[in-house]
């Protein structure tokens, strides 16, 4: 006679993913409760990289906050500076010259491509596709070289200044950037052939981490994350800043299904659109100054500081005392590679900001981890973290 097997007792198991885990893109810890291989609860634990940037800003002059801003989202360093400078300029009520606006757009779009390439490489790598990382870094290296040309810094160019730019573009930059713009669509095809129709890639991404358009707004999603769900919204088009209205580009929406695959398509297409903006900006780049002609806002030219006593005094006072925007509060948002990057700055009329609140896109997106992962397999959690394109420095600030 066959023995009756006892019914196995089931209980959930708690698994600790991270903080040192290659697929968490930094120091993210996710506490996952598992029922077999199904996720019952996924609770992200953040803050390992909290540097208190918002607090540090309150003790510095407006200019001295710039190096901190580079390090919010370090994969798109210059975009953060761009947003912060725009916010302070809005507070001051000034507009930078057209040439500076165009150059800022060029830097922003270059970093957007670099950031998306990094996302493609790492999230592909997480799901077992090794090659996009190597192909992508070939082009990312060229963008890093371009960043190095303008200021000497690769990850953190620190090229934007309040009131304009640190310096004009170096000789040969436009030609080199144009060379990149011309060859990029061909290189992009390499990535596209690797993954877009790849059966394994589709199995891992289609229908994983689904968010409807309505839910995406409820969860505060922006940028490529929201567009993958079919939210037709791009701050560059809908609230243009820094001359984005001069450029002709489309806002890709993927398959509108709101899954990981749709977001993959959005980011892939965005690279091409960025390239399109780059081409137009380089072709139409106007001549003229690169910072506002106002000694209260922008530093005097370096060569004048060495020759002219008035410029030297101005430079000294500027660095020591800083600029004093009028009392008031503003919010300025830009379309960063990862979504809406906002700066809420309150000024009390002194040289230090009273409060700088940074609205980081990664922080907001990560909030929905539990919603996306619950009921899915543990392996899907890796796909979900990958598709979020988070940078932990951006999450923790």
Residues in contact with another protein by CB under 8 A are 46-47, 50, 52, 54-56, 58-59, 90-91, 93, 217-220, 222, 231, 233, 238-239, 328-331, 333, 340, 342, 344, 346, 354-355, 357, 359, 363-364, 366-368, 371, 396-397
Rounded to the nearest 5°, which phi and psi values hold at 331? -125, 125
Decide whether 93 or 128 has the Cβ nearer to another protein. 93
The 8-class DSSP code of residue 256 comes to: S
Measured distance CA(339)–CA(223) in Å, rounded: 4
- Minimal distance in Å, beta carbon 329 to another protein? 7
* Shortest Å, Cβ 336 to another protein: 13
The residue (of 157 and 353) whose beta carbon lies closer to another protein is 353
CA distance 235 to 162: 21
Of 83 and 157, the one with the shorter C-beta distance to another protein is: 83
First to last CA, the chain: 66
Write down the least CB distance from residue 283 to another protein, Å.
Answer: 28
Closer to another protein by CB, 141 or 329: give it.
329
**Shortest spacing between CB 63 and another protein, in angstroms:** 17
Joined tokens for residue 352: 């230090």
Q: In terms of CB distance, is 220 or 295 closer to another protein? A: 220
**Would residue 209 be called left, alpha or beta, if left means φ above 0 and alpha means ψ between -120 and 50 degrees?**
left
Burial of 4 (0-12, 13-18, 19+ CB in 10 A): exposed
Residue 50 beta carbon to another protein: minimum distance, rounded to whole angstroms: 4
Smaller CB separation from another protein, 46 or 297: 46
The span from the CA of 60 to the CA of 19, in Å, is: 31
Distance of alpha carbon 198 from alpha carbon 194, whole angstroms:
7
CB of 127 to another protein, least distance (A): 26
Cβ-based nearer residue to another protein, 96 or 364:
364
Cis peptide, bond prior to residue 341, ω within 30 of zero: no
The residue whose two tokens read 């080199």 is 176
Burial 74-95 (b: 16+ CB within 10 A, else e): bbbbbbbbbbbbbbbbbbbebe
Query: Under 8 Å CB-to-CB from 279, ≥6 apart: which residues?
Result: 178, 181
Q: How many CB atoms lie within 10 A of CB 14?
A: 11
Contacts of 347 by beta carbon, 8 Å cutoff, 6+ apart: 91, 325, 326, 327, 328, 329, 353, 354
- Identity of the residue, 107 or 341, whose beta carbon is nearer to another protein in the bound complex: 341
Q: Round to whole Å and give the CA distance between 254 and 160.
A: 32
CB of 59 to another protein, least distance (A): 4
Q: Give 36 or 47: the residue with its C-beta nearer to another protein.
A: 47
Provide the minimum distance between the beta carbon of 134 and another protein in the complex, in angstroms, as a whole number.
Answer: 35
In sequence order, which ranges of 127-234 are alpha helices (DSSP H)? 131-151, 173-195, 199-205, 213-218, 223-228
For another protein, the closer CB: 141 or 321: 321
CB of 229 to another protein, least distance (A): 12
| Consecutive H or E run containing 160 | strand 160-161
* Token pair of 350 as six digits: 């002194």
């Amino acid at each position: 006679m066959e023995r009756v097997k006892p019914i196995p007792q089931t209980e959930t198991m708690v698994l600790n993913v991270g903080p040192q885990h290659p697929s968490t893109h930094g120091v993210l810890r996710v506490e996952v409760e598992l029922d077999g291989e199904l996720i019952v609860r996924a609770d992200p634990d953040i803050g390992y990289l909290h540097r208190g940037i918002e607090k540090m800003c309150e003790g510095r002059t407006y200019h001295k906050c710039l190096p901190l801003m580079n390090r919010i989202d370090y994969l798109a360093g210059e975009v953060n500076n761009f947003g912060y400078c725009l916010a302070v300029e809005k507070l001051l009520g000034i507009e930078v010259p057209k040439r500076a606006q165009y150059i800022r757009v060029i830097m922003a779009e270059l970093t957007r491509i670099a950031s998306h390439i990094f996302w493609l490489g790492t999230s592909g790598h997480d799901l077992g596709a090794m090659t996009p990382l190597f192909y992508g870094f070939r082009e990312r290296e060229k963008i890093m070289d371009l960043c190095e040309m303008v200021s000497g810094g690769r990850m953190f160019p620190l090229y934007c200044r309040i009131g304009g730019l640190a310096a004009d573009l170096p000789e040969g930059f436009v030609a080199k950037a144009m060379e990149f713009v011309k060859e990029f669509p061909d290189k992009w095809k390499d990535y596209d052939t690797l993954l877009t129709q790849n059966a394994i890639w589709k199995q891992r991404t289609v229908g994983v981490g689904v968010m409807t358009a309505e839910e995406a707004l409820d969860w505060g999603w922006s940028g490529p994350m929201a567009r993958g769900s079919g939210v037709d919204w791009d701050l560059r088009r809908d609230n243009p800043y820094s001359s984005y209205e001069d450029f002709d580009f489309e806002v890709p929406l993927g398959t509108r299904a709101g899954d990981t695959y749709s977001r993959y398509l959005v980011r892939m297409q965005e690279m091409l659109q960025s390239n399109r903006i780059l081409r137009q900006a380089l072709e139409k780049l106007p001549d003229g100054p690169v910072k506002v002609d106002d000694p209260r806002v922008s530093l005097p030219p370096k060569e004048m500081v060495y020759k002219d006593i008035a410029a030297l005094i101005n430079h000294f006072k500027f660095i020591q005392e800083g600029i004093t925007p009028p009392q008031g509060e503003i919010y300025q948002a830009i379309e960063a590679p990862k979504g809406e990057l906002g700066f809420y700055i309150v000024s009390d009329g002194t040289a230090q900001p009273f409060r700088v609140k940074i609205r980081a896109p990664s922080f907001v997106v990560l909030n929905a981890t539990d919603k996306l992962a619950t009921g899915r397999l543990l392996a899907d959690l890796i796909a979900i973290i990958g598709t979020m394109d988070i940078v932990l420095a951006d999450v923790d600030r």
